[in-house]
Chain A
Amino acid sequence: MGWVNAIIQGILTGGLYALFACGLSLMFGVMKVVNLAHGDLAILGGYIALGVIAITHVPVLWSFLIVVPIMAVLGYVMQRTMIQASLDRSVLTTLLVTFGLSVVIENGLLQFVNADSHSLGVGNSIITKSFSLGSQIQIAYLLVLIFAVAVVVLLGLQYFLSSSRYGRMIRAVADDREAAQLSGVDYRHVFGIAAAIAFGTVALAGIAYGMYSQFAPTTGTDTILLFAFAAVVIGGLGSLWGTLLGGVVLGVAQQIGAQINISYEVLAGYLVLLAVLVFRPQGLTARRAES
Chain B
Amino acid sequence: MNSPRQGNGTPLLEVRDLTVHHGQLRALDRVSLHVFPGEVYAIIGANGAGKSTLLRTIAGLHQPTEGTILYDGTDMTKARPERRATAGIVMVPEGRRLFGSLTIEENLQVGATYARKGPWTIERVYELFGWMKERRAQRTAQLSGGEQQSVAIGRALVANPRVLLLDELSLGLAPIVVQRIYAMLPQILATGLTVLLVEQDVSQALRVATHLQCLLEGHTTLEGRPSDVTPAQVEAAYFGLAPEGGAGGVRGGGEPFPRGVRGDGSPPEEEQGGSGGDRPPGEESALWAGSTPSSRGS
Contacts and interface: CB of A to CB of B under 8 A. Distances in A.
A185 B102 contact: no
B91 interface: yes
B184 interface: no
Given A172-B102, A172-B110, A184 B159 contact: yes
A178 interface: yes
B120 to A, nearest CB: 13
B265 to A, nearest CB: 42
A168 interface: yes
Interface string B84-123: 0110001101000111111000110111011100000000
Contacts of A178: 61, 81, 93, 97
B178 to A, nearest CB: 21
Contacts of B82: 181-187
**Interface band, chain A:** 20 to 34
Given A179-B99, A183-B159, A169 B110 contact: yes
A289 interface: yes
Nearest to A181: B81
Contacts of B159: 183-184
A168 B114 contact: no
A288 B81 contact: no
Interface residues of B, number: 30
Contact of A182 (B91, B101, B141): B91
A247 B217 CA distance: 56
A118 interface: no
Interface in A24-72: none
Given A183-B113, A289-B141, A176 B81 contact: no
Contacts of A175: 99-102
A179 B109 CA distance: 13
B139 A183 contact: no
Contact of B100 (A180, A186, A187, A289): A289
A172 B85 contact: no
Contacts of A289: 100-101, 139, 141
Nearest to A174: B101
B80 interface: yes
Given A171-B99, A172-B102, A183 B110 contact: yes
A89 interface: no
Contacts of A171: 99, 101-102, 106
Contacts of B97: 176, 178-179, 182
A168 B81 contact: no
Contact of B114 (A176, A185, A187, A291): A185
Given A176-B99, A184-B159, A291-B141, A168 B61 contact: no
A187 B141 CA distance: 21
B59 interface: yes
A187 to B, nearest CB: 8
B155 interface: yes
From A178, A183, A187, name the one whose CB has the most chain B CB atoms within 10 angstroms: A183
A171 B107 CA distance: 10
Contacts of A182: 59, 61, 81-82, 85, 90-91, 93, 97, 156
Given A179-B93, A183-B155, 17 more contacts: A168-B109, A168-B113, A171-B101, A174-B101, A175-B99, A178-B93, A181-B60, A181-B82, A182-B59, A182-B61, A182-B90, A182-B93, A184-B82, A184-B114, A185-B113, A187-B82, A291-B101
5 contacts: A165-B113, A175-B102, A178-B81, A182-B91, A184-B82
Interface of A: 165, 168-169, 171-172, 174-176, 178-187, 288-289, 291
